Amino acid sequence: MSTAALPTTPASRPLTRSDYKTLSLSALGGALEFYDFIIFVFFAAVVGKLFFPAEMPDWLRQMQTFGIFAAGYLARPLGGIVMAHFGDLLGRKKMFTLSIFMMAVPTLLMGLLPTYAQIGMWAPIALLVLRVIQGAAIGGEVPGAWVFVAEHVPQRHIGYACGTLTSGLTAGILLGSLVATLFNSLFTPEELLAYGWRGPFLLGGVFGLLSVYLRRWLHETPVFAELQQRKALAEEVPLKAVVRDHRGAIVLSMLLTWVLSAGIIVVILMTPTLLQTVYGFNAATALQANSLAIVFLSVGCVAAGALADRFGASRVFIIGSLLLLASSWAFYTRISSHPEWLFPLYALTGLFVGMIGAVPFVMVNAFPPVVRFSGLSFSYNLAYAIFGGLTPMMVTLLLKTDPLGPAYYVAALCGLGFCVGLYLLTSKR
């Protein structure tokens, strides 16, 4: 694993005002871009009614709507690989800015699209195309953002920088949830169906374009600038070098991405629905508890990154996995008999899911700077496409045999995180 200090950044210096500006703008942009990517799912029911034939059965309409949502995930690997390729050859900042532009414009256009009643089958086709572009953008944004902030700060603050960025991404989910709640409160179902649904997409597009403007104030990373100056950029296709020379780093990064994706998907994205269907909570209570969990998740991400700097990622994963196992098991097994424990247990579980804030710290250091963007992007996006798609299906299958299916899956996830932590500890990484 490449853990050498950044070439032009003294490893021992403290964080400067410039570093904090870079972190703030990067985290803000990441939050707004993740909002753009996730807002679709909060309005999936409305979009399904507007962009497919009225006579279509509800189950088929819902399946096709979520199919368009899933297309964004399937487009992530290709978009991430292509953008990372040019990020390693042309510069981190250019791709970092391009990714948010590619997210903002489709989101804005979604809010302006004619519906099925106006243009027929062209409506869902246009929606699918825009969703694919969004997927390609997010595939480049997340790895690119981690690399960008990691190469700006001193070596001893990489964990804190990546944890802060990850916290910004999770805040984007919270923002989407809050905006969806607000619009559902302001408009009646009829008004939402007529025109109100467009507001969150238009808002996201405007936010995204504002982020594009703000990123003009960011500078190229010192690491890439020095590689460029020394003419030490990759002499071959970066991905080819990654697959040939860094297979161990790929496997490690993919396993950590499984931990990250499963933690977010099960505990944060799936659990609000489970609280209603399995545990009998009303929608408002489930969403309020979920919002609290996301706040604690964001705090946990920053804490995990800072602790990785201080004590090493191995200890964060070992201790964090044990704490998450204990809190999640208590959460899923106790809230039926003790519904009053919902908020504190969900908040605690969200906090310990925050151990994922240490994941990018390991992944950034796993690849040398010359192919770092490509290595991280390939591993992360490929793993997210596989495990991000399999996790909901596996949890659903487990639920058919036992209502504690999510608890078993999260427990297995904790076991994986614990084993990765032991590996990192024994290999002194």
Q: What is the pTM of this model?
A: 0.83
Radius of gyration of the chain (CA): 21
pLDDT score, position 229: 66
Superfamily of domain 16-233: MFS general substrate transporter like domains (1.20.1250.20)
Coil, helix or strand at residue 312: coil
Q: Can you give the pLDDT at residue 409?
A: 94
Mark residue 218 as left, alpha or beta (left: phi above 0; alpha: psi -120 to 50; beta: remaining): beta
The residue type found at 330 is: A
Q: Which amino acid is residue 313, in one-letter code?
A: A
| Angstrom distance (rounded) from CA 240 to CA 247 | 11
110: Cβ contacts below 8 Å, ≥ 6 apart? 40, 127, 130, 201, 205
pLDDT at 161: 92
| CA 88 – CA 154 distance, rounded (Å) | 20
Cβ contacts of 291 within 8 Å, gap of 6 or more: 174, 177, 178
Spell out the per-residue pLDDT of the chain, length 429, in tens.
444 444 444 556 777 777 788 888 888 878 887 888 788 877 877 888 888 887 777 767 767 776 777 777 778 788 888 877 777 777 677 777 788 888 889 999 999 999 988 998 899 999 999 988 988 888 877 888 898 888 888 888 999 999 999 998 888 888 988 888 888 888 888 898 899 999 999 999 998 888 888 777 777 676 666 766 665 465 567 778 888 888 999 999 999 999 998 899 899 888 887 888 888 888 778 888 989 999 999 999 999 999 999 999 999 999 999 999 999 999 999 998 999 999 999 999 999 999 999 999 999 999 988 888 888 989 998 898 888 777 887 888 888 888 898 999 999 999 999 999 999 998 865
The reported pLDDT for the residue numbered 415 is: 96
Domain with CATH 1.20.1250.20 in the chain: 16-233, 240-429
At 10 the three-state DSSP class reads coil
pLDDT value of position 277: 81
Q: Which of 262, 282, 261 is nearest to 272 (CA)?
A: 282
CATH superfamily for domain 240-429: MFS general substrate transporter like domains (1.20.1250.20)
- Give the model's pLDDT for residue 3: 41
DSSP string, 52-67: S-TTS-HHHHHHHHHH
